């Protein structure tokens, strides 16, 4: 679909007040989105697993008013910073949901996971918000043509990675030659055969460091604008998408893990070589990575890591080795976590 197909020309029957609610999971990127152009267009295609236990639940109370306003309550506590962000977001998407500025909103939102845990709350948060907006659209237009593509399109305009959270399983966002119908505007399901082991992945998130991120993703993406290696990196990501397609089909776990780990390290390498430069890993992050490599070398078990733009480590493994992996995490990795915390999550198809 093209951008102008998302512009709404529907007739709406606005109601005075009401509420809508939704739930949306977070996701973890295997092939990373890092670098974007204007209007939230990604510099390369990305691929992610949608999680299950880590989600945002959002309820919106809306009231028809002369003045548009937004208040946000995170875990029951008013959050002015989020309200300002969402207000700007609502203003920016008026073309696509034309009733949006006619209301005053109270938004109540909750994450099932702790703040600053290395789980992207912007992905699940904007995903949940976009679902609520589409529900309002249906309610006012008295149609039931809920489109996941449009929801993903709206979520993307809030946060790029949120576009991927609208689908379960393996999800692609960004145009890529090897994936027909892939789009920069919204995410789509990974369209090829997926071997069973790849469908059964667990993600245990080891909280190495809890606290605010040192680099926001907006600042991080901007660092790719004048980055000396940007062009090469964008090509590499697109190439990795192409390479991973047959690997996913065959279920070649070692090659799968190889691309995922390389993507995580490349993301951090980009931050280390940008201007200004950052190290977002902590010493414990590196220790955990080394332990995973040692364990994998000794046992030949398919256990891998990936990283977000932070210090926490996502440990990825197929369900068939869940018990062994959890024992290893408890015995050998938990010592590297600030508060001995690990969040166990998994992917559903
Ligand atoms: C490292 O989606 O948070 O998690 O579009 O500015 O909201 P904005 O960025 P965001 O960036 C995510 C970056 C990443 C990689 C990924 O999820 O692909």
Which residues of the chain register pLDDT less than 50? Answer: none
203 close to 314: Cβ distance less than 8 angstroms: yes
CA distance 134 to 132: 5
Mutation pick for ligand 1 pocket among 217, 267, 309, 310 (CB with most ligand atoms within 8 Å) = 217
Q: What is the CATH number of domain 3-189?
A: 3.30.230.10
Phi-psi region of 40 (alpha: psi -120 to 50; beta: other; left: phi over 0): left
32 close to 233: Cβ distance less than 8 angstroms: no
C-alpha 252 – ligand 1 centre gap (Å): 27
> Does ligand 1 have an atom closer than 6 angstroms to the CB of 209?
no
In CATH, the architecture of 199-346 is 2-Layer Sandwich (3.30)
Number of Cβ within 10 Å of residue 76's Cβ equals 8
Task: Name the closest-CA residue to atom 6, ligand 1.
Answer: 218
- The upper half-sphere exposure of residue 87, i.e. CA atoms within 13 Å in the direction of its Cβ, equals 14
> Does ligand 1 have an atom closer than 6 angstroms to the CB of 314?
no
Domain ranges for the chain: 3-189, 199-346
Residue 116 has a pLDDT of: 66
316 close to 305: Cβ distance less than 8 angstroms: yes
Please list the alpha-helical segments (H only) found in 114-229: 121-141, 148-158, 196-199, 217-222
| Segment 234-271, tens digit of pLDDT | 999 999 999 999 999 999 999 999 999 999 999 999 99
Task: Estimate the crossing angle of helix 230-250 against helix 253-272, to 10 degrees.
Answer: 160
């Amino acid at each position: 679909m093209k951008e102008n197909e998302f512009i709404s020309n529907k007739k709406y029957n606005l109601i005075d007040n009401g509420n809508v609610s939704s739930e949306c999971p977070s996701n973890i990127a295997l092939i990373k989105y890092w670098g974007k152009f204007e209007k939230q267009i990604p510099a390369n295609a990305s691929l992610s697993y949608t999680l299950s236990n880590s989600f945002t639940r959002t309820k919106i109370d809306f009231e028809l008013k002369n003045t548009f306003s937004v208040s946000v309550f995170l875990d029951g506590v008013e959050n002015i910073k989020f309200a300002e962000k969402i207000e700007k977001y609502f203003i920016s998407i008026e073309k696509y949901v034309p009733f949006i500025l006619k209301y005053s909103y109270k938004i109540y939102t909750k994450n099932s996971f702790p703040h600053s845990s290395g789980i992207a709350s912007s992905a699940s948060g904007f995903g949940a918000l976009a679902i609520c907006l589409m529900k309002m659209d249906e309610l006012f237009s008295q149609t039931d043509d809920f489109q996941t593509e449009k929801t993903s399109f709206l979520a993307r305009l809030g946060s790029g990675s949120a576009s991927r959270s609208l689908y379960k399983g393996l999800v692609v966002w960004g145009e890529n030659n090897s994936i027909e119908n892939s789009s920069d505007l919204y995410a789509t399901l990974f369209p090829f055969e997926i071997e069973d082991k790849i469908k059964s992945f667990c993600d245990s998130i080891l909280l190495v460091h809890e606290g605010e991120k040192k680099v926001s993703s907006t600042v991080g993406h901007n660092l790719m604008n004048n980055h000396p290696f940007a062009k090469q990196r964008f090509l590499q990501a697109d190439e990795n998408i192409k390479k991973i397609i047959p690997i996913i089909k065959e279920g070649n776990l070692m090659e799968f893990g190889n691309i995922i780990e390389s993507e995580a390290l490349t993301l951090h390498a980009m931050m280390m070589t940008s201007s200004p430069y950052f190290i977002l890993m902590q010493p414990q992050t590196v220790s955990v990575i080394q332990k995973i490599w040692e364990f994998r070398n000794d046992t030949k078990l398919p256990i891998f890591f990936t990283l977000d733009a932070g210090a926490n480590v996502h440990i990825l493994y197929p369900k068939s080795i869940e018990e062994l992996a959890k024992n290893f995490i408890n015995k050998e990795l938990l010592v590297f976590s600030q508060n001995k915390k690990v969040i166990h999550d998994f992917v559903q198809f």
